[in-house]
Structure 1
Amino acid sequence: MTEKPNYSLDITGEVCPMTFVKTKLLVERMPSGEMVEVRLKGAEPLANVPRSLAELGHQIISTVREDGEGADGIHRLLVRKK
């Protein structure tokens, strides 16, 4: 990861729809152009959170699986607020 996020959010213990709700609430409080790194776990949040943020116009910079995790394990999502 080359860009450093301004915020971080760990939603690995949450389930949908709270994964997106908590992420959206943080992004709404952020100034435009700043970034957040979101740690999420599971196939459903991995599919829904980035898609929903992109639909709101935010930029998905990267999605990276953490070392030692399987495909449905913990991922780090980097997002820039529009």
Structure 2
Amino acid sequence: MKLVTAEEQTHDRDLDITTETCPMTFVRTRLALDRMQPGQVLRLRLKGDEPRQNVPRTATEQGHSVLSATEAADGVLILLIRKKS
């Protein structure tokens, strides 16, 4: 299975949590995912060590799929997360 980059993957919703701190980083992510339909993709921009570790792990633990993680030039990590079906 080939993972696609953030530029190749289409997404249904954008969320920028680069200014948020834990635990609000995942609270905002979870609220966004809760408002989406199963199978839709969230493009998430985040920054900082704690969110980089916790957000993908927690999303996976809740049954969602992290499709890709791309490092942007400005130090922002861009995640694509598919909502569980």
**TM-score after normalising by structure 2:** 0.88
Secondary structure at the aligned position of 1:54 is classed as helix
Distance in 1 of aligned mates of 2:63 and 2:69: 17
Deviation readout 1:17-53 (Å, 9 max, x if unpaired) = 0000000001011000000000000110000000000
Distance in 1 of aligned mates of 2:9 and 2:78: 13
Corresponding residue number in structure 1 for 2:80: 78
Percent identity, please: 46
The Cα shift of 1:3 comes to 1.5
Gaps of 5+ in 2: none
Runs of 4+ in structure 1 displaced over 4 angstroms? none
**Over the residues paired in the alignment, what is the CA RMSD in angstroms?**
0.8
Gaps of 5+ in 1: none
**TM-score after normalising by structure 1:** 0.91
Distance in 1 of aligned mates of 2:68 and 2:49: 16
Letter paired with 1:46: R
The Cα shift of 1:57 comes to 0.3
Aligned residues: 78
